Amino acid sequence: MKYKVIDGLKYTKQHEWARQENSIAAVGLSDYAQDKLGEIVFVELPDVGSEVEAGKSAAVIESVKAVADLYAPVDGKVTEVNEALLDQPEVINQDPYGEGWVFKVEIKDEGQMDALMDKSTYEEFIIKEEEEE
């Protein structure tokens, strides 16, 4: 697979990833999504303290090709945002699973994390999506 997919993360059908640590999940854009978007030039972050809802837009990612919503993988409250992205949005392209995280959310319902895709399921999902293009 030409896209990096990390074990231990959970993935959405909109190509976000979530890394759970206790009751907090860090959220970002998958390697596949950042590759499809191309060079990222702007990120609109959610407000700390705001409520996000699974499947609803929580942030906006703008690239040279398109503007895309970044959807919350779970319901919860935003506890932290990656302010470094305001000055260096391209970090999402360079390190989507590390320094390129977008926000952290306090998970309201841990069952929502279980409903997300694991590494192998997400890899199969990408392969199917590529075939449909």
Domain edges within the chain: 11-108
- Return the SS3 of 40: strand
- Residue 19: CA count within 13 A, CB half-sphere: 16
Cβ 17 vs Cβ 75: under 8 Å: no
pLDDT at 133: 83
Q: CA angle, corner 17, sides to 40 and 132, nearest 5?
A: 75
pLDDT at 1: 83
pLDDT at 130: 94
CA distance 125 to 60: 23
What is the residue-level pLDDT of the chain in tens, covering all 133 positions? 899 999 999 999 999 999 999 999 999 999 999 999 999 999 999 999 999 999 999 999 999 999 999 999 999 999 999 999 999 999 999 999 999 999 999 999 999 999 999 999 999 999 999 999 8
**Residue-wise burial string across 59-81, b where 16 or more C-beta atoms lie within 10 A, e elsewhere:** bebebeeeebebbbbbbbbbeeb
Task: Tell me the sheet residues that pair with 63.
Answer: 40
User: What architecture (CATH level 2) is domain 11-108?
Assistant: Beta Barrel (2.40)
pLDDT at 47: 98
